[in-house]
Amino acid sequence: MAFLEKNNLLPSLQCVYRHSRSTETAVLKIISDVVLAADHGEITLLSLLDISAAFNMVDHDILCDCLSTSFGIRGMVLA
């Protein structure tokens, strides 16, 4: 995480595994966006997906290649 934060590789709205952020932070952001849209008379659609089981199917060679190529993670950290 220190590497990702130091190199600004995390999305600004990511709440997971970030200091002073939590699931509660993410839910509050969603609620705020929905209320703001309603105030502007906009229609809001929220779709929630549980993809936690999908990570059991990740090809680890492809994942390691992506981490190395996209984020510069190599060596012992990648291993």
- Phi and psi for 63 in degrees, rounded to 5? -60, -45
Evaluate whether 14 touches 20 at the Cβ level (below 8 Å). Answer: no
Map out the domains of the chain as residue ranges: 1-48, 49-79
Using CB atoms within 10 Å of the CB of residue 22, give its burial: 0 to 12 exposed, 13 to 18 middle, 19+ buried: exposed
The predicted model scores a pTM of 0.50
Distance (Å, rounded) from C-alpha 67 to C-alpha 65?
6
Task: Provide the residue type at 32 as one letter.
Answer: S
pLDDT in tens, the chain (79 residues): 788 888 888 887 777 767 777 788 888 889 999 999 999 999 998 888 777 777 677 888 998 999 899 989 899 888 8
